[in-house]
Amino acid sequence: MKKIDEYQGKKVLVMGFGISGINAAHLLVKLGANVTANDKATPKNNDIVDDLEADGIKVITGDNPISLANEGFDVVVKNPGIPYDNPLVAAFVKQGTPIITEAELGWQIFDGHLVSVTGSNGKTTTTTLTQLMIAENAKYQVKYAGNIGISFSKIAEDLGPDDTLVTELSSFQLLGAPTIHPHIAIITNIFSNHLDYHKTRENYINAKLNITRNQTKDDFLVINWDRDEWQKIAQRSQATIVPFSRLNKSHEGSYVEDGMIYWRGQEVMPTKDIRLIGPQNVENALAAIAAAKLSGVTNDAIKKVLTTFSGVRHRLQYVMEYQERLFYNDSKSTDIEATEVALQGFDRPVVLLAGGLDRGYTFERLVPYFKKHVKAMIVFGECKDKMKDAGNQAGVPVIESENAITAVPEAWKLSEPGDVILLSPANASWDQFPSFEVRGDKFIEAVEKLTGKKEQ
């Protein structure tokens, strides 16, 4: 951990009691700040408040009182999910109070080698693969943190100058990380996500590009080269561009040719040996390989990881096989693009479980994928009628169910030996579940109840 005095004697407000917020509050006390912690909700677990107050932190819960904007805070550390049009946040913006996220605080105290990953899809898998690959050859600590569910600042506290940290960073986190400077930055892809938060696609792209804003030619931006738009986006970085591509050969980076993965013209391994299924995971592997090779990792280490790693929970996660049906949990597929790539990963008939929060769009784009890959659908949630319309256009049998739990026995009835039963909702979970993680966990529990087996 780097010693800094930036917060000594400063008055700091931490907004949000998530894992990152709680860790940030305690860290700021160590850095000499006078800390107030605020959450709009009242925690059900009193231990959270007790621990904060025991550290000398003033705690305010049950509201974001606008009066806090008049208390002379020097800095606000905001939970990334709190929008900037929140009245209290907007008041701080208006008066010019610096607003950062916990990722920025983590960067400020970090003293080692930083690799950062962002993108619309594939962030967590790419982050995990990159960390595992670099760790295979490392003499020092290699950890991961960030949007992957582990506090950046908490892990950064325990790392030294020779250690490596691989961080997953969301667009929300990057908006509040003005000085972050990874030596290697990865952009997996950019679609049109979170426009309810960012308002426009250009705002969303700009937030993603904050990952490379402070990079120089001595740093590296590893970026997906499979779309012209992404190639143009790369031109906005000052870093050395390292492309990865499943579709376009580029000797400057990692790519696929005739079923073989190459790094700058040298063979690494066949794509068929990657344990993770689907074209999206070939792309995730290519991104991780580029970062790993830039970090000095051997091909043997890369092969070891890619032939053994079976996936991140809720991200096209293999659950089990039962009576010749394969169950997969892809609850993290909260947009159309993610479900498209999930379906392309299977060469067996798919019984698809899909639906969720209605964000106002329809699903015609999925019709060709339904026609090619899906034998039957069970739909649920706010957008079930729109999802059903797309299934009908594809000529796929569709039935309705209450949610992703009740859909499991319905999917079983529609399946036959050799089929895949896939939860890949193409929508957010918030109409019925507090998170995609909860939705995926409940799906797995339903599969376990149906089969009498535990996930593998």
CATH at residue 400: 3.90.190.20
HSE, side-chain direction, 13 A CA sphere, residue 192:
9
Are residues 297 and 176 part of one domain? Answer: yes
Are residues 132 and 215 part of one domain? Answer: yes
DSSP 120: S
Does the residue 3 lie in any domain?
A: no
Are residues 183 and 58 part of one domain? Answer: no
Are residues 94 and 33 part of one domain? Answer: yes
Does the residue 256 lie in any domain?
A: yes
Q: Lowest-confidence range among 11-20, 94-103, 138-147, 185-194?
A: 185-194
**For 110-194, where are the alpha helices, taking DSSP H only?**
123-137, 152-157, 171-175
The C-alpha atoms of residue 375 and residue 414 are separated, in whole angstroms, by 9
Are residues 184 and 267 part of one domain? Answer: yes
Are residues 108 and 88 part of one domain? Answer: no
The C-alpha atoms of residue 9 and residue 353 are separated, in whole angstroms, by 53
User: What's the pLDDT score for residue 319?
Assistant: 93
The C-alpha atoms of residue 88 and residue 249 are separated, in whole angstroms, by 49
* Band (61; pLDDT cuts 50, 70, 90): very high
- Judged against a pLDDT cut of 80, whether residue 396 lies above it is answered with yes
The tokens describing 272, both together, are 């068929």
Instruction: For the chain, give the mean pLDDT.
Output: 95
* Band (103; pLDDT cuts 50, 70, 90): very high
Region 33-52 average pLDDT: 93
Are residues 271 and 138 part of one domain? Answer: yes
Residue in the block written with tokens 């039957």:
376
Does the residue 6 lie in any domain?
A: no
Does the residue 288 lie in any domain?
A: yes
Residue in the block written with tokens 């001595």:
218
Give the number of domains in the chain: 3
**For 84-218, where are the alpha helices, taking DSSP H only?**
87-95, 102-109, 123-137, 152-157, 171-175, 195-198, 201-209
User: What's the pLDDT score for residue 199?
Assistant: 84
Query: Which CATH number do you get for residue 21?
Result: 3.40.50.720
Residue in the block written with tokens 């930055």:
185
Are residues 410 and 275 part of one domain? Answer: no
Burial class (CB within 10 angstroms; exposed 0-12, middle 13-18, buried 19+) of 137 = middle
Q: Give the residue numbers spanning the domain of 57.
A: 11-100
Burial class (CB within 10 angstroms; exposed 0-12, middle 13-18, buried 19+) of 452 = exposed
The tokens describing 73, both together, are 């805070």
Q: Among candidates 171, 172, 203, 200, which has minimal Cα distance to 188?
A: 171
Other Cβ atoms within 10 Å of 426 Cβ, number: 26
Does the residue 455 lie in any domain?
A: no
Q: Last residue of some domain: 100, 122, 141?
A: 100
Q: Among candidates 103, 278, 292, which has minimal Cα distance to 180?
A: 103
- Judged against a pLDDT cut of 80, whether residue 388 lies above it is answered with yes
What is the model's pTM? 0.83
- Judged against a pLDDT cut of 80, whether residue 192 lies above it is answered with no
Are residues 338 and 293 part of one domain? Answer: no
Are residues 138 and 257 part of one domain? Answer: yes
The C-alpha atoms of residue 130 and residue 445 are separated, in whole angstroms, by 30
Does the residue 165 lie in any domain?
A: yes
Region 113-118 average pLDDT: 98
Indicate the pairing of strand 260-263 with strand 266-270.
antiparallel
Does the residue 204 lie in any domain?
A: yes
Are residues 360 and 213 part of one domain? Answer: no
User: What's the pLDDT score for residue 191?
Assistant: 87
In the chain, pLDDT over 70 holds for what percent of residues?
Answer: 100
Are residues 124 and 82 part of one domain? Answer: no
User: What's the pLDDT score for residue 121?
Assistant: 87
Query: Which CATH number do you get for residue 171?
Result: 3.40.1190.10
Q: Last residue of some domain: 55, 79, 100?
A: 100
Report the SS3 class of residue 378: strand
* Band (193; pLDDT cuts 50, 70, 90): confident
198 φ/ψ sector (left φ>0, alpha ψ -120 to 50, else beta): alpha
Q: Last residue of some domain: 288, 308, 328?
A: 308
Does the residue 5 lie in any domain?
A: no
Region 328-356 average pLDDT: 93
